[in-house]
A and B are shown apart, each in its own frame.
Chain A
Amino acid sequence: DGGITQSPKYLFRKEGQNVTLSCEQNLNHDAMYWYRQDPGQGLRLIYYSQIVNDFQKGDIAEGYSVSREKKESFPLTVTSAQKNPTAFYLCASRGTSGRAKSYNEQFFGPGTRLTVL
């Protein structure tokens, strides 16, 4: 089945530790995104990548880092510099095929809930 996978589903971290969240897609999408979701708020963009080896900061990139070494993978590292990392993290991808419609449709993974103890 084609889709987006995120692992782990639940993650616990001690203060001061870095942690990496995995995101893999087999949809052959060029663009990938990381969002943070907090209760009562809309999704906020952390980082996005439109092509391998390239990525841009979103609205709340401070305390986060990403890499895009492969088309299928876009891992997010939550560093100790992130002041309030407890949240639900969502990875997404967007198609960039020749069909205009799939170019604009963004699909999400199941999410990772990170809790800092």
Chain B
Amino acid sequence: GQQLNQSPQSMFIQEGEDVSMNCTSSSIFNTWLWYKQEPGEGPVLLIALYKAGELTSNGRLTAQFGITRKDSFLNISASIPSDVGIYFCAGQVYYTGNQFYFGTGTSLTVIP
């Protein structure tokens, strides 16, 4: 199955800094989803994107659906310690039977 390229693999930042991460695919997707996962827990859906160029915010989080439909970006502004976790992207293509494909995750550490 396809896996998405997600970068960076890990980030160590100071509290208050902004964070950017991205996902790329060799396939065109119809939907991009961004999740956050904390240790020992299931992923929590943060943002869903449905069309090319779409920019959607959820509090301090902003995500964009790339124009080529092959990438997506997530930004976190003014990071705080509770932002710590692993962030995953997921993409979906309708013709694959509604399967979702996942990135390998970006591990975020926020230093107070």
Contact = CB atoms under 8 A, between A and B. Distances in A.
Contacts, number: 63
Interface string A35-49: 000001111110010
Interface in A61-111: 88, 90, 94, 100-101, 104-111
Given A42-B104, A56-B97, A111 B45 contact: no
Contacts of A108: 35, 42-45
Interface residues of B, number: 27
A43 B100 CA distance: 9
A1 interface: no
Interface of A: 4, 6, 31, 33, 40-45, 48, 50, 56, 58-59, 88, 90, 94, 100-101, 104-111, 113
